[in-house]
Amino acid sequence: MPYAYDDQNIFARILRGEIPNKTVLETEHCLAFHDIRAQAPTHVLVIPRGAYVNFDHFIAEASDAEILDFNRAVAKVGEMLDLLPGTGGEGYRLIANSGPHSHQEVPHLHFHVLAGRPLGAMLVGPA
């Protein structure tokens, strides 16, 4: 059972409406909202509505419609917040943590969309 999903995780509770969030975008299969501890002027989380622990779980078990909607939702957040370098924005960084070495805190797939200042080197510290 490699992908046991904990339905009491904080994002599952946000999806059920048990905990408030500052919503940026809602789609059929996704929700995007501001991170409660923003690490950049723009820090948005994009999550699927489905019960997926991480990215590899999502790709293994989500439908094509969910995967397409998720990717489009991430891009749409960039567009809505004027981040896209192709249309004059200053750019953004996507982060998706998966598992213990990544320091994943919440066991429900989420992409971080970070922007609004120069974000520096990708990682700090030695390889």
Least Å distance, CB 106 to ligand 5GP, is 4
- Report d(CA 125, CA 127) in Å as an integer: 7
Residue 106 near ligand 5GP by CB under 6 A: yes
- Report d(CA 67, CA 125) in Å as an integer: 33
> Of 102, 48, 111, 51, nearest to 78 (Cα)?
111
DSSP structure class, residue 37: T
When the beta carbons of 16 and 37 are compared against ligand 5GP, the nearer one is 37
Tell me which of 9, 89, 97, 116 binds ligand 5GP, using CB under 6 A: 97
- Report d(CA 54, CA 99) in Å as an integer: 8
Sole window of 24-32, 48-56, 77-85, 104-112 interacting with ligand 5GP (rule: CB under 6 A): 104-112
Sole window of 30-38, 48-56, 67-75, 82-90 interacting with ligand 5GP (rule: CB under 6 A): 30-38
